[in-house]
Amino acid sequence: MPSLMSIDGVAVAGQHGFEVVNPSTGAPFAEAPACDEPTLNRAVEAASKAFGAWRRDESARRTALKACAAAIRNQAEALGRTLATEMGKPITKAIEEAQITAFLFDQAAEAQIPVEQFDEGRAQVTIVRRPLGVVAALPPWNFPLGLGAWKVAPALLTGNTVVLKPSPYAPLSSLQLGAIMREWLPPGVLNVISGGGELGEKLVTHPLVRGVGFTGSIATGQQVARSAATQLKRLTLELGGNDAAIVLDDVDPKQVASRIFWGAFANSGQICGAIKRLYVAESVMRPLLHELTRIAQAVRVGDALDPTTEFGPIGNRAQLDRILSMLDEAKRVGAHLVTGGERLNRPGFFVPPTLVTKVAEGIRLVDDEQFGPVLPIMSFRTVEEAIERANATAFGLNGSIWTRNIARGTELAGELECGTAWVNQHMVIALRAPFGGWKASGLGRENGPWGIQAYTEVQVIHASAD
Ligand code: NAD
């Protein structure tokens, strides 16, 4: 069945299509509709038309979100299959992402929209949250369903209507989500269109769009901010990370190795908040590297649709090329590849878990966001030095401290310049806590009351008896 867009409550085909590649095979396996400008305008106008009625009935919105959650949960397996095929994450993880997406709509259906009230002289002052209007939701390819829901769920709860545009590398699961949800929502409330960066830019600059929720790279985020600036649109930017994990000399390497490994290599390292630089106290470098190597060599790399696969391919050709060029540079300056380091000789975009030592700041693998299955590991002499190196970057998404001394770990976590700092964990997200970055890693927060705030304007109503 061809994938179709959802506009104004109905399925819409594109005049043209573009190929979607399965990264496990390297071959195209489906076409997605290429949304043209008139169709984009139809989607935004449908959302604008639906806004008036949708914003007025909060209880109908909660009921509809609950129904969407149940329908998504019912289809989690099918959604997961599509996602695993187009993006390459292991099928078990892809189904889990679809289930989390259902949970996010359930959670939104029950979330409080804050209202505050107090008396001021003769007047009663009420502070309420009003929806923005039409919201553009732009998720990246690594978690299209989950990060799409981080935007769509709070935006719909608070009375906005939405146009969702997923990444052209992984559009099919979001188109499928649109088909599921349009059965349970009034026409125009959620529209899902597909296309590339140019379509994203036209959507962001469309005069009827009042709010933008974007997750992606820093460079695109800056472009989105420029596009949104002309009309001063409300904006949430969740951008790239270059998270440092700092391992102190009191850890038991056997105990922490698996958590550190998967903190770096879950989703084949393609997570904004994965460990991307590992700083290890000199005295534990050898035993920790030994444990990490053991895990890396035992991991089952394979086709995303194979239920025994733990480690899928890189999500697309462009990202594979980026990773290989970073590896080339590291090799040129004398890096030591402890494991992996080469593309596998098989179809698909496979690079196995790659541990790299004998590297330092000054090369892209350390200074930029690699967003792939390659981890630079560096030793440090003093904790102060490690914190300084962790913070010496324009990124500020997350970080972590690994130690048996929780009090010291918590104190040091507070020294990291980032939105979330963990102790003895990494990339464990509390869905009720705000998520977002400092410095170039973003603007605003998603999740919990902060996520709701992002899709609303504050209104103060002063009412006096006479
Ligand atoms: P990307 O920036 O290339 O694209 C993101 C989305 O923006 C896509 O849908 C794309 O089509 C669209 N787009 C491209 N140009 C646009 C423009 N000019 N205007 C509007 N939209 C445009 O990112 P990606 O490669 O899909 O994702 C990887 C990046 O996402 C990494 O940097 C990663 O760290 C980041 N990321 C951040 C978080 C977070 O929460 N901070 C989470 C996941 C991924």
Cα(239) to centroid(ligand 1), Å: 7
Residue keyed to tokens 């400008």: 37
pTM for the structure as a whole = 0.97
Name the residues annotated as catalytic: 238, 272
Does the beta carbon of 223 lie inside 6 Å of ligand 1? yes
Please state, for a pLDDT cut of 70, what percent of the chain lies above it: 100
Are the CB atoms for 281 and 382 separated by under 8 Å? Answer: no
Does the beta carbon of 217 lie inside 6 Å of ligand 1? yes
Ligand 1: residue whose CA is nearest its atom 19: 201
Does the beta carbon of 446 lie inside 6 Å of ligand 1? no
Does the beta carbon of 239 lie inside 6 Å of ligand 1? yes
Taking the CB of residue 341, how many other CB atoms lie within 10 A of it?
18
Cα(409) to centroid(ligand 1), Å: 32
Write out pLDDT tens, residues 195-212. 999 999 999 999 999 999
pLDDT score at 216: 98
Chain centroid, CA 243 distance in Å: 14
pLDDT score at 465: 85
pLDDT score at 356: 98
Name every residue whose Cβ is closer than 8 Å to that of residue 391 and which is 6 or more positions away in sequence: 415, 416, 417
Are the CB atoms for 432 and 448 separated by under 8 Å? Answer: yes
Report the C-alpha dihedral over residues 203, 207, 211, 215, rounded to 10 degrees: 20
Tell me how far apart the alpha carbons of residues 285 and 287 are, in angstroms, rounded to a whole number: 6
Ligand 1: residue whose CA is nearest its atom 16: 197
Give helix then strand counts, H and E, for the chain: 15, 20
Q: Is 262 exposed, middle or buried (0-12, 13-18, 19+ CB in 10 A)?
A: middle
pLDDT score at 440: 98
Q: Average pLDDT per run of 10 along the chain, which is 466 residues long?
A: 91 97 98 98 99 98 98 98 98 98 97 96 96 98 98 98 98 98 98 98 98 98 97 98 98 98 98 98 98 98 98 98 98 98 98 98 98 98 98 98 98 98 96 95 95 97 91
C-alpha pair distances (Å), 19 with each of 23, 163, 168: 12, 22, 9
Q: Which H or E element spans position 72?
A: helix 58-74
User: What are the φ/ψ torsions at residue 115 (nearest 5 degrees)?
Assistant: -135, 130
Instruction: Provide the H-helix boundaries in 266-312.
Output: 282-298
pLDDT score at 1: 60
pLDDT score at 432: 87
Nearest residue to 14 via CA among 35, 31, 29: 35
Are the CB atoms for 164 and 148 separated by under 8 Å? Answer: yes
3-state SS of 338-380 is CCCCCCCCCCCCCCCCEEEECCCCCCHHHHCCCCCCEEEEEEE
Nearest residue to 260 via CA among 234, 296, 230, 286: 296
Are the CB atoms for 125 and 173 separated by under 8 Å? Answer: no
Write out pLDDT tens, residues 39-78. 999 999 999 999 999 999 999 999 999 999 999 999 999 9
Chain centroid, CA 63 distance in Å: 26
Does the beta carbon of 397 lie inside 6 Å of ligand 1? yes
